[in-house]
Amino acid sequence: MDLNSFIDHTLLKANTTSGDIKKLCEEAINHDFYAVCVNSCNTAIAKQYLKDSSVKLAVTIGFPLGAVSKTSKIEETRQAILDGADELDMVINIGFLKDAKQAEVEEEIALIKKAAGSKLLKVIIETCYLSEEEIRIACKLALKAGADFVKTSTGFGSRGASTEDIRIMKEVVGDKMKIKASGGIRDAKTALEYIDLGVDRIGTSSGIKIVTDNP
């Protein structure tokens, strides 16, 4: 299987420099990855480095906690699109979800999707902090709000993706939404396991190792 086309080559560390972004984009182009994923402050520079390539630019919104205001997330989305984002990876307000503020969570996703327009919206639900029922609720809210993907993790929580997370998410969204697994995916065997479960995209900082190891 060609794993390259599943990979969002990711760099979201706080100490990321412009040189790091340049290297990330060059690697993505050289290995024909689907996209790079960066923090929103690096959108414009990443777009410049990806110029004339087929690699998409995914940008995080409300990252990594999801706890900023709805207005901030919407404005961050708009600016990211102005700066050249092709896709948005937003973090839900996890505290609101756990407080059963389902209407607020759904509204925020819907407003960000509206701001995103034709751009793909991935909704990060941070499964490590959620019960099975909360994972199901989060997926249903993302689906109702019109998002394109539901995504497991930021990679900054207490753990990354798990096969059980994917099983639960797939049961809820079926073929109505796509799924992105991220967090802790560092080898081809693990990536293939997630893809076999129905994952459409893999978020990882280990993309080169994954495609190099893939037989």
- Which sequence positions are flagged as catalytic? 89, 151, 180
What is the full DSSP assignment across 100-126? T-HHHHHHHHHHHHHHHTTSEEEEE--
| Cα torsion angle, 143, 145, 146, 152, sign | negative
Cα separation, 42 vs 39, whole angstroms: 6
Angstrom CA distances, 190 to 102, 147, 183, stand at 32, 26, 11
Angstrom CA distances, 138 to 26, 34, 104, stand at 35, 26, 12
